[in-house]
Amino acid sequence: MLERRAARLTRLTEVIPAWMGGMLSGSRPEREAVKGLRSGSPNKPRARLSSRNVIAWRVRRHRLDRMAPPGETLQVASRICGLHAQLMSAAELTLWARVDGLEPETVQQALWEERSLVKAWAMRGTLHLFPSSEYPMWQAALSTRTERHCMNAAVLRAHDLTRPDLERLLNAVALALDGKVLTRSQLADEVSTVTGSVQLGDKLRGSWGSLLKPAASTGVLCFAPSAGA
């Protein structure tokens, strides 16, 4: 399947320039169009882009017009604003479609050996991989939405918590992980011990990690290598 996919990508890159009107090469029409959009009124842009222009820009912005050179894993992850990793294979395929000669073990090595990638909950509350050097920026941005998306009244009702309960739980998560690497089950046990409440600790055992996301968005935790089933 990988070989067939590679052939399809090769054909795609051969066909794209024929209908993109030079948009992929940083041509004069592209530069003029962008300049017109920047200088025009928000309501009356001086330049109009066709659907093909828009598609061309999106393909280029997502690094699908041409393969990046070997070794540019982090640059590609940065340019496309992280790798969606709800399934790890999705992140690996995302890079494989964009980086020439990508080795199968590259993502795992970057995550768990080199630590040049970091795995955390991010956009839409789903898992992403980011260059570690950029994680402070992403964490700062994501922390601005913690209150609205992760600690609102609907979340509290869904988990049968009060606001003080949730704040107590998140403080306990920070204490439990200080200097430690824990599985989710171990973290739940530690939180139970710190808070003196088995009920609060048990709320961390859900498979979706809903109550761990506020901690992730405030920089308290990120993922370590998997352990066990």
Task: Report the alpha-carbon distance of residue 157 to residue 199 in Å, rounded.
Answer: 15
- The two structure tokens encoding residue 140: 């700062």
Quick one: pLDDT at residue 68?
92
pTM listed for this prediction: 0.72
Alpha helices (H) along 116-162: 135-143, 153-158
The single-letter code of the amino acid at 74 is L
pLDDT bin (cut points 50, 70, 90) of residue 39 is low
- The two structure tokens encoding residue 14: 């051969």
pLDDT bin (cut points 50, 70, 90) of residue 13 is very low
As a whole number, mean pLDDT of residues 1-7 equals 34
Residue ranges per structural domain of the chain: 1-66, 68-133, 144-217
Task: Report the alpha-carbon distance of residue 180 to residue 195 in Å, rounded.
Answer: 18
Beta-carbon count within 10 A of 172 CB: 23
Q: Does the pLDDT value for residue 144 go beyond 90?
A: no
Each residue's pLDDT tens digit, 150-181: 788 888 888 888 899 989 998 999 999 988 89
pLDDT bin (cut points 50, 70, 90) of residue 143 is confident
Q: What is the CA radius of gyration of the chain?
A: 22
DSSP helix/strand/coil, 119: strand
